[in-house]
Structure 1
Amino acid sequence: MSRKRRVHSAAFKGKVALEALKELKPINVLASQYEIQPNQISTWKKQLKEGVTEIFSRKRGKAKDDSRKAEKRLYEEIGRLKMELDWLKKKSEPYSDPLDLIDSQHRSISIQRQCELLGISRSRYYYKPAVESELNLKLMRIIDEIYTDCPFYRSRRMVIELERRAFHVNRKRVQRLMRLMGLEAIYPKPKLTHRNIEHKVYPYLLRNILIDRPNQVWSTDITYIPMQSGFMYLTVIIDWYSRYILSWRISNTMDNDFCVEALDEALTHGLPDIFNTDQGVQFTSKQFTQRLTDVDVKISIDGKGRALDNIFVERLWRTVKYENIYLKDYRNGNELYQGLEEYFSFYNTRRPHQSLGYRSPEDIHYCS
């Protein structure tokens, strides 16, 4: 017998999308909590961002009749929402499971109505979506550790390394998890990363260039960050000469919004001559590149088959993970944010770098 398709209310979609937008919980944790697919949450999150922009861009000047009708509908909606809010205030707690809020013994509100108010269907009692298992999350953490040590390992060698650690998994499973984590072996090959063919192609500008001062070249990238329950993505913008971290952001989805936010913050510190990145769609998007061209910054994109074009960021990922991520084993996005905030402050101001003559990045960046 085929399973009945689940229909989610607008209130439920908005609630889940808003929680995803807060970036406090990984997508897979929210998916498990609300028993929906991770891709669905990512879609709702994107729709929420676009919807907010649309609200503030609408033009005024509608007819009075339309205004009255809209006002009437608004008051009706307010009344309905107030009734729902009064009931929810008595039951809800931050990040609680909606299923726990349902009172099967309630005399006035039926279970069906309670499900509607909570934005869930009755079939949710029985529905169990396919989310990443505990084993997969453990495998992803181990794969990340192996990749940090050996970023040139492809799926075949990754399978062998996992077998040495008593994890017998097939290659297809490893390939899927690596794609989910955004990991790809670093080695010369015809096509290193997938770019959007609609995005403008920029040349690689750093070949045979001497980097000898701060704000000459900035660079960025994204990496996978494992946690106790799920994972997040981290992006940073770094100055090549001083190794100074100009900005950073975390997100539970690998979209370009958190990359653009990091870029906006970095540009408050100054302007580089050249901004270098790989061919990922987050960095070649018009939304990202437009910020740079508007301030006359030259854009450099890593060439195909160039494994070491972004080597300074790759070295940073190894440092961050071994000195912080693997040691702290963060439980959620809030802990991760606070921990990285402390670590990057230490990294910039106190951590001595051998390549910098055992001085800190801050000393080099602002005193050179």
Structure 2
Amino acid sequence: MQAYFCGLFGYTRQAYCKQLNKNTRKALDEGFIISQVRLIRKDMPRLGGKKLHCLLKEKGIDIGRDILYDILRNNKMLVKKKKKYAITTNSKHWMKKYPNLIRGFNFTQTNQLWVSDITYIPINNGFVYLSLITDVYSHLIVGYRLSQTLERDGAVGALTMALKHIPGEDRIGLIHHSDRGVQYCSQEYVNLLKENNIRISMTENGDPYQNAVAERINGILKDEWLDHEYFFCFEDVKLRIDEIISI
């Protein structure tokens, strides 16, 4: 049979066997990559190709990014981004709004700038709201609080956690940046920042997309972890958020 195919395609027997072995190895390699991707996505079902490539490299699997994308595409494993946006910011209020202190500022270490933001997570009968505080330099979440409403308690809770987590001597010169929402302009929140000698910075036109790092962290949490899951109630989301942020 080999001789027949060799004659049909103009191969020598040696060349035919070499090509056959190459195709077999390629199929085995592709199967291995797919199995590793599925293993990683057990915990992070919406993890995209770029981060998969990094995690595979950490596992010692040396594969080109383009080849990985080809494998994902051919096996219908590319993750489609969900485009949706819900308004969580109300900047039309009477409370004092602070200027933007961070334009053109170069951050070179942790705890120079924290950014705060709030995102929504759907549940069976509505939404719950996750307040996050992220260190811009390290991209680590230093404080968070899940709430059932958009009132200031969630934002205050996230800030309180961050202040407990990072000692005062490590926060000298720290700037806190946020949008101009009522939560961040509230007297309780502002007083907590001032009592801890943290400078206050806010977006200038109320557009939350100016708060780029905070929006990016929110996007990662939702696109790669939360959007694929169904949560029945507040407690379900809280358990999952605690699990994700502890990883």
1:225 corresponds in structure 2 to 121
Higher relative contact order (CA 8 A, sep 6+): 2
Counterpart pick for 2:93 among 178, 189, 196: 196
Amino acid at match of 1:235: S
Give unmatched runs, 5+ long, in structure 1: 1-143, 152-180, 185-192, 347-368
Counterpart pick for 1:337 among 227, 233, 238: 238
Q: Classify 1:257/1:183 alpha carbon distance in 2 versus 1 (closer, same or farther; 3 Å).
A: closer
Q: Classify 1:146/1:337 alpha carbon distance in 2 versus 1 (closer, same or farther; 3 Å).
A: same
Q: Classify 1:287/1:233 alpha carbon distance in 2 versus 1 (closer, same or farther; 3 Å).
A: same
Q: Classify 1:226/1:323 alpha carbon distance in 2 versus 1 (closer, same or farther; 3 Å).
A: same
Q: Classify 1:341/1:286 alpha carbon distance in 2 versus 1 (closer, same or farther; 3 Å).
A: same
Distance 2:157 2:209 in 1: 26
What TM-score results when the alignment is normalised by the length of structure 2? 0.61
Q: How many residues align?
A: 162
Deviations 1:228-259 (A, max 9, x none): 34221111000011001011111111100121
Deviations 1:155-187 (A, max 9, x none): xxxxxxxxxxxxxxxxxxxxxxxxxx5258xxx
Distance 2:206 2:183 in 1: 19
Distance 1:289 1:247 in 2: 16
Give the secondary structure class of the aligned counterpart of 1:283. helix
The answer on 1:246 being equivalent to 2:147 is: no
Amino acid at match of 1:293: K
1:293 corresponds in structure 2 to 194
Question: Superposed, which structure 2 residues align to 1:16-165 within 5 Å?
Answer: 145-147=82-84
1:275 deviation in Å? 0.3
Give unmatched runs, 5+ long, in structure 2: 1-80
Deviations 1:278-313 (A, max 9, x none): 100000111101001112111001111666431011
2:87 corresponds in structure 1 to 182
Distance 1:285 1:231 in 2: 22
Give the secondary structure class of the aligned counterpart of 1:319. helix
What TM-score results when the alignment is normalised by the length of structure 1? 0.42
Distance 1:146 1:306 in 2: 17
Give the secondary structure class of the aligned counterpart of 2:158. helix
Q: Classify 1:209/1:247 alpha carbon distance in 2 versus 1 (closer, same or farther; 3 Å).
A: same
Deviating 4+ runs (over 3 angstroms): 305-308
Counterpart pick for 2:153 among 257, 260, 280: 257
1:214 corresponds in structure 2 to 110
Give the secondary structure class of the aligned counterpart of 2:83. helix
Give the secondary structure class of the aligned counterpart of 1:328. coil
Distance 1:252 1:328 in 2: 18
Amino acid at match of 1:250: L
RMSD, aligned α-carbons: 2.1
Counterpart pick for 2:174 among 273, 276, 288: 273
Amino acid at match of 1:277: S
1:324 corresponds in structure 2 to 225
1:314 corresponds in structure 2 to 215
**Greater strand share, structure number:** 2
Amino acid at match of 2:101: L
